Structure formats: structure tokens, C-alpha cells
Amino acid sequence: MKKILSLALVLVLSLTMVVGCGKKEVAYTVEDGVLTMATNAYFPPYEYYDGTEIVGIDIEIAQAVADKLGLELKIEDMEFDSIIIAVQRGKADVGLAGMTVTEDRLKSVSFSESYATGIQVVIVKEGSGIESLEDLEGKKIGVQLATTGDIYATDEFGSDYVHQYNKGNDAVLALVQGKVDAVIIDNEPAKNFVTANEGLTILPTEYAVEDYAAAINKDNTELLEKFNEALKALIEDGTVQKIIDKYIPAE
């Protein structure tokens, strides 16, 4: 009897091990068969709501990568400053949000190959008299919280002059309402915001040129490798450029 019991125990134990191991092998995404993407869907043309659907460059690139990996794409919309935390805590597999690769962020997450370039620009009201970066000294600057625009502005002009908003659109609204004198934000969303709001203009000065990439959990080297392999193929065969051209018409 004792023997049978211990045999049964061994069986149960080895079964658990097999099941356990099996699970580990496929568990390179948070949810089996699904690529969960964290984003902040107020950043046109990279991610934004079209009715109730989230669309944009980042969505289509993530979808193309997911297709290559045989995964279903699931999008989680959250505040921009929650994205890296979601990736770190294993709540999302990847963060795509027109996110710039920075030394500081590299301490928290890994970044994929870069798939696009962003430029920090300055939006002001037409006829504001602000014509250069020097003119921003002592002015109220609106930014989106925790973005590189926020980091640069705070470094250069001091936090007293920087007004942080949760969404880029809210910073632009504050500019329209005269609560701030300028907004520092990425160029493509800037163009969208200027088109959507009358009386605004983008200064010709480029503030900083940056690389956009996908944030991935530091421990998930398997996903990083697979994601990069798929992304590289999509860059090489022109798919990524096609997606970008669809949302950013040539000038």
C-alpha cells in the first residue's frame, strides 16, 4: 500500500513537472497566444481613437509583428507614464507609444530595434512673438507628463516653468486657452494638433531628434529576440515604411 502511494506521488510530481516545464516553454507572452501591447491612444498618428477603435502606426506595426509570430494582438490603453511599469510588472508584453529610447528608460526596460524617428518641436500661438528656443526662457511651457518633452523642458527651463498634462491634447488645449505660452511635443502629433486647432504654429527649430522603439521586459529576452526578428523583416520588406506612409503623407 505504502509503495502504491509513493508511486502515485512520484507520478503526480512528475506530471506537475512536465506540465510546469511545458508551460514555461510557451510562456514568452503574458497570455498564451496573445501579444499584449500597452499604449496611450492620444498620440496621433501613432495611436489614436477612430470612433471606439484604436488605430495608428504603432498599432499596425504591432499587428504585423503579432501576425508574423502567430499571436493575437490585444491593446491596453493607459496613461503614458504607466506603460513602462506595465511592461516591467508583466501586465503587458510590449509598450509601443511613439516611445523614445532613452538611457534612463533603458535602466527599466529593453528596447527593440528602432522603427521610426521623432523630433521634439515647439508649438506656439501665431503672432506670439516666440520665435526661437531662447524666447522660451521664463515662459510657461506645456508638456505631456513623463515624456522626453517634459524631461528636456524641466532640465532646461526648470520645473517652475513646466506645466505637465496627462495627454498631449490637454497641453495643446491649455495653449489655445492661454494658460501656457508654448508646448513641447513630438513633431507628428504636433502637426495633427495644429491642424485641429486654429491659430497655432510650429517653430521651425527642431528641439531634439529621437528614435522610437518598443519597450519589452528586461527578463524576456525570448520575446525581444522574436519581436526584433519579425520587426527587422518588416523593415526590410518595406512593410513598416508602407504603414508610416499611410499615416504620414509626404509633404
Based on the shown chain and the rule CB under 6 A, indicate whether residue 44 belongs to the binding site for ligand GLN. Answer: no
CB of 20 to ligand GLN, least distance (A): 38
How many residues bind to ligand GLN according to rule CB under 6 A?
14
Based on the shown chain and the rule CB under 6 A, indicate whether residue 148 belongs to the binding site for ligand GLN. Answer: yes
Closer residue to ligand GLN in complex, CB, 142/168: 168
User: Which three-class secondary structure state does DSSP give residue 130?
Assistant: coil
* Torsion angle (degrees, nearest 10) of CA 82, 88, 92, 95: 60
Based on the shown chain and the rule CB under 6 A, indicate whether residue 123 belongs to the binding site for ligand GLN. Answer: no
Q: Which residues pair with 215 in a beta bridge?
A: 95, 111
Based on the shown chain and the rule CB under 6 A, indicate whether residue 40 belongs to the binding site for ligand GLN. Answer: yes
Tell me the per-residue interface mask from 157 to 176 with ligand GLN, x by CB under 6 A, - otherwise: -----------x--------
User: Which three-class secondary structure state does DSSP give residue 205?
Assistant: coil
Closer residue to ligand GLN in complex, CB, 45/226: 45
Which of 48, 80, 207, 227 is close enough to bind ligand GLN by CB under 6 A? 80
> Which ranges of 27-157 does DSSP label H, i.e. alpha helix?
57-69, 83-88, 103-106, 148-157
Query: In whole angstroms, what is the distance from residue 170 CA to residue 145 CA?
Result: 11
- Report which DSSP code applies to 236: H
Among candidates 216, 244, 242, which has minimal Cα distance to 229? 216
Based on the shown chain and the rule CB under 6 A, indicate whether residue 142 belongs to the binding site for ligand GLN. Answer: no
Whether omega for the bond prior to residue 45 falls within 30 degrees of 0, making it cis, is: yes
Closer residue to ligand GLN in complex, CB, 60/186: 186
Which positions touch ligand GLN (CB under 6 A)?
A: 40, 43, 80, 97-100, 118, 144, 147-148, 168, 186, 210
